[in-house]
Amino acid sequence: MKYRMRRRGLGAVILALGLLLQSCLLFGMPAHAADNVFGNTDKLDLTPSEDLIPSHDGSDGLADGYVMDSYHVDVQVKEDNTYEVKETFAAYFTSQKHGLIRTIPTTGTYRREDGSSSSFRARVTDVRANVKSSVERSNGKVRIKMGDAGAYVYGPKTYTISYRYQLGKDTLKGADEFYYNLIGTSWNTTIGNVSFQITMPKEITEDQAKSLGFTSGGYGSGRTGDTLYQIKGNTVQGKLMRQLKSNQGFTVRMTLPEGYYTYPVDYSLFLVIGLALLGIFVAVIFWFIFGNDRKVVESVQFYPPEGYNSLDVAMAYHGKVSMSDIPSLIPYLANEGYLTIRDKKRESGGDLPFSGGLTKNISFERVSHYKGSNESERLFMQGFFKSGSKVKHSDLKGSFHETCEAILRQENLHSKVKEENYTNQEFLIDAILLIFVALISFVAIFSGLNAEGASTLASFISGLIVAAIMSFVAVHVAGLVRIGGISVGGVSGLSIPALLWRIASSWIFLALIFYAGKSFLSSLAGFFNYFTGGLLLRLLVAITATLIIAFFMHFMPKRTSKGDEIYGRILGFRTFLQTAEKDRLQMLVDENPQYFYNIIPFAYVLGVSKVWMDKFKDITMPAPSYLAGADRGDAFWDYYYFSSLMNAVNHDIYHASVTLPASDSSSWGDFGSGSFGGGSGGGFSGGGSGGGGGSSW
pLDDT per residue over 96-138, tens digit each?
999 999 999 988 888 888 888 888 888 888 899 999 999 998 8
* Interval 43-54 mean pLDDT: 84
For residue range 250-287, what is the model confidence (pLDDT) as tens digits?
A: 999 999 999 999 987 778 889 999 999 999 999 999 88
Closest CA relative to residue 489, chosen from 478, 498, 497: 478
Of 45-49, 336-340, 382-386, 603-607, which gets the smallest average pLDDT?
45-49
Which pLDDT does position 152 carry in this prediction? 94
Q: How confident is the model at residue 492 (pLDDT cuts 50, 70, 90)?
A: very low
- pTM, two decimal places: 0.51
User: CB atoms < 10 A from the CB of 26, how many?
Assistant: 18
Report the run of H or E that residue 405 belongs to, with start and end.
helix 400-414
CA distance 465 to 618: 58
For residue range 544-594, what is the model confidence (pLDDT) as tens digits?
A: 999 899 888 877 767 777 888 888 999 999 999 999 888 898 899 889 988
Q: What is the strand order of the sheet 153-166 is part of?
A: 123-129, 153-166, 82-97, 66-77, 194-199, 235-240, 227-232
129-142 CB burial, b ≥16 within 10 A, e <16 = beeebebebeebbb
* Interval 630-646 mean pLDDT: 56
More confident residue, 621 or 383: 383
Report the run of H or E that residue 164 belongs to, with start and end.
strand 153-166
User: CB atoms < 10 A from the CB of 76, how many?
Assistant: 17
Q: Percentage of the chain with pLDDT > 70?
A: 72
Report the first-to-last Cα separation within the chain, whole angstroms: 76
Q: Is residue 295's pLDDT more than 90?
A: no
Supply the Cα-derived Rg of the chain in whole angstroms: 40
Which pLDDT does position 611 carry in this prediction? 87
For residues 690 and 181, the answer to whether their CB atoms sit within 8 Å is yes
DSSP 615: T
For residues 106 and 140, the answer to whether their CB atoms sit within 8 Å is yes
Residue 347, phi then psi, degrees to nearest 5: -65, -30
Report the run of H or E that residue 513 belongs to, with start and end.
helix 496-516
303-316 CB burial, b ≥16 within 10 A, e <16 = ebbeebbbbbbbbb
Strand partners, 164: 84, 125
Tell me the one-letter amino acid at 373: S
Which pLDDT does position 619 carry in this prediction? 80
For residues 195 and 70, the answer to whether their CB atoms sit within 8 Å is yes
Cα Dmax for the chain: 153
Query: What are the E-state strand segments in 425-496?
Result: 481-483, 486-488
For residue range 202-235, what is the model confidence (pLDDT) as tens digits?
A: 999 999 999 999 999 998 888 888 899 999 999 9
Report the run of H or E that residue 109 belongs to, with start and end.
strand 107-111
CA distance 498 to 502: 6
DSSP 38: B
Residue length of the chain:
697
* Strand pairing category for 66-77 and 194-199: parallel
Residue 271, phi then psi, degrees to nearest 5: -65, -45
Tell me the one-letter amino acid at 509: F
Strand partners, 227: 240
Of 201-215, 450-464, 508-522, 641-655, which gets the smallest average pLDDT?
508-522
- C-alpha torsion sign, points 614, 619, 623, 624: negative
For residues 420 and 307, the answer to whether their CB atoms sit within 8 Å is no
CA distance 216 to 219: 9
CATH fold of 38-263+682-696 reads Immunoglobulin-like (2.60.40)
